Chain A
Amino acid sequence: MTITENNTVDNGVNVEALLGAREMLSGAPAAAQFTFSATNEWVNGTHSRSTVSEFFGLGDDQAHRQPYSVDTDHPGIFASEDNGPTPPEMVLMGLAGCLTAGVASVAQNRGIQLRSVKSTVEGALDVAGILGIDSDVRNGFGGIRVRFEIDADATRDEIQAVVAQSQKRSAVFDVVANPTAIVVEVV
């Protein structure tokens, strides 16, 4: 990975720290094993609330700067109270956030100054699956489309390359696009 000499590019990504981390983790694979978690509590109906605060990585227990609390629910058409976005919308949000963070990091690495990055993420969901109406319909999104609007000091091709690279380095993109093993147990 080559770093541009242009020190005036600042997308807010601490590239030195990033490089340092890469260096350190190449030699210490165990430190690269992270574990993230969210603790969820049912509120009522389809409304539940998750808290995110601790995680594990770099060989030690870590904590976010503060605990974050997130609510999800279903909208009225599903006979719910709309206390929060739906879980599928949360996934779209996770995808957008992950890709955007990647765009910022990759752009920084390539010496590209970003001015604004906006995206719209859309997922098509045929609810005949989850409602048990048609067993041939999958329960999740049939497909997801992300459209980026990026204003930056770069050519169209360079920007497209940044966006392409961010997908290749996105954890959420990978988890959604490829099969991920999930084990659900009762304590």
Chain B
Amino acid sequence: MTINETPLVTDETNGVPTAKLFGTIAKMKDNGDLAAFRFSAKNEWIEGTASASTIHEWFGAGADHLHVEEFRFAADHPTLGHGHGPTPQEYVLHALAACITAGIATGAAARGIELTKVSSTATADIDVRGVLGIDAEVRKGFSEVRVDFDVQADAEPDVIDALIASATKYSAVFDMLTSPTVVQVRRASR
């Protein structure tokens, strides 16, 4: 997938058009139904532990939508896989870092704070004896996730700390990982 390397030129803070965002929020306050969104990914197995997902359709604000393009990502496993892509867990780490980052950018924009740089590293520990079925008392997922942020902005350190704490608190991905999320898996009916 080719990425446009040039950052977009906008005259909003941090590239977030806050007026438009607040307009969307106002509409949703008036009509709660508009806030019901549904995201999805379609996945297809390739071989071994490799599969590819496409992300295109989504529903929200009362209507069906399409992303501007069909995003496609492959995942695999190292050592035992065929090298088609990062592991699914690494996508989750990316999702977490990216979600909080988007929140930092939006939160900073709402407070009129200019960001120069936001870098982070999300790291997670996992004892693979869980997924390999070696020890039933070992959980299958991460025992702990750490995200370390390096933020440069025209603001005091305490203000930046508060931005990050707030972006974390309101992050969708942070919530779905820190709190149980119901996952139902079944066969599609023919």
A–B contact with Cβ pairs below 8 Å: the answer is: yes
Residues of A within 8 A of B (CB): 1, 11-14, 17-18, 21-22, 25-26, 29, 32-50, 52, 55, 57-58, 62, 64-66, 68-101, 103-105, 114, 116-134, 137-150, 156, 159-160, 163-164, 167-187
Whether B11 is near chain A, meaning CB under 8 Å from some CB there, is no
Whether B111 is near chain A, meaning CB under 8 Å from some CB there, is no
B86-112 Cβ-contact flags toward A at 8 Å (1 or 0):
111111111111111110111000000
- Is the Cβ of A37 less than 8 Å from the Cβ of B83? no
Residues of B within 8 A of A (CB): 1, 3-4, 7-8, 10, 12, 14-18, 20-21, 24-25, 28-29, 32, 35-45, 47-51, 53, 55, 58, 60-61, 65, 67-68, 71, 73, 75-83, 85-102, 104-106, 115, 117-135, 139-151, 157, 160-161, 164-165, 168, 170-188
23 A-B pairs with C-beta separation under 8 A: A13-B48, A21-B79, A36-B90, A38-B90, A42-B104, A47-B15, A66-B83, A77-B61, A78-B24, A88-B176, A91-B91, A96-B42, A97-B87, A105-B49, A125-B38, A138-B175, A174-B139, A178-B139, A182-B96, A182-B146, A184-B100, A184-B164, A186-B149
Contact residues in B for A138 (Cβ distance below 8 Å): 175, 179
Which applies to chain B's interface (DSSP): helix, strand, loop or mixed?
Answer: mixed
Question: A48 → chain B, closest Cβ, in Å?
Answer: 5
Contact residues in A for B65 (Cβ distance below 8 Å): 75, 77
Contact residues in A for B145 (Cβ distance below 8 Å): 180-183
Across the two chains, which residue of chain A brings its CB closest to B49? A101
- Is the Cβ of A163 less than 8 Å from the Cβ of B187? yes
Once the chains are docked, how many angstroms separate the CA of A78 from the CA of B164? 20
Contact residues in B for A100 (Cβ distance below 8 Å): 43, 45, 51
